[in-house]
Amino acid sequence: MRILAISGSIRNESSNSALLKAIRNLLPANIEWIDFKVNELPYFDPQIQFGLEVPPSVQSFRHLAYESDYIVISTPEYAHGIPGILKNALEWLICEETLKKRVIVFVSSPSGGDYVKEYLLETLRTMDMVVTEEMTFVIRSARKDVSKLGDISDHSLKTSIIEFLKSVGLISNNY
C-alpha cells in the first residue's frame, strides 16, 4: 500500500506535520509513506494545467497522487477555511489521472475545525475524490499532545487515532 501525505501547513515544526509523523509511526512498516511538500508547487495556473508546460514538480505530484492508494491530509483551520497553499496543491490535482482517490483527512484545530472540515470535504468531493465524514478525524490538542517527532503523549488520543486508522482500513484489527 502506498500513501501520499500532505500537510496543509508549511510552518517549520507545524503540529500538522508532526501529526502526519505520528500517523506514520502507527502504521505497519510495509506501507510506503510519501511526504510531499506543497511549497514545492508553483501557483496554480489553469492555462497550463493540461498543456505541455506543466512544471516538473506538478507532474511529480500528480504522478505520486495517481500511484497512491490513499491520500492523507492533515490541515489547520485558517480564517474558517483551508490554507491557501493546500488549496493550491489540490487545484493542481484536478485532472483525470488523479480522480477517485480515497482521501483521509485529519483536521488539527483548537476550535474544533468544523469550518475547515466542511470546506475541505466539499472541495474534495467536487474534485471527485472519495471522502466521507467517517474518513475525517478532528484533533483539538495536536500542539500539546503530539511532539515534533510524532510521539503522541496522550494515551486516549493515541487509542482514538489507532481505532480511526482501523476503521478506514490503514491498519488491521490485530494492531
Is the per-residue pLDDT at 46 higher than 80?
Answer: yes
Q: How confident is the model at residue 173 (pLDDT cuts 50, 70, 90)?
A: confident
Question: How far is C-alpha 63 from the chain's CA centre?
Answer: 16
Can you read off the three cell numbers belonging to residue 73? Answer: 491530509
Domain of 74: which CATH number? 3.40.50.360
- Measured CA angle at 65 (ends 116, 111), to 5 deg: 15
Query: Using one digit for the tens of pLDDT, what is the confidence trace for 117-170?
Result: 999 999 999 998 999 999 999 999 899 999 999 999 999 999 999 999 999 999
Expressed as residue numbers, the domain containing 41 is: 2-167
Helix (H) or strand (E) holding 103: strand 102-108
**Residue 95, pLDDT above cutoff 80:** no
Beta bridge partners of 71: 4, 103
Query: Total domain count for the chain?
Result: 1
- Predicted model pTM: 0.94
User: Does 175 reside within a domain?
Assistant: no
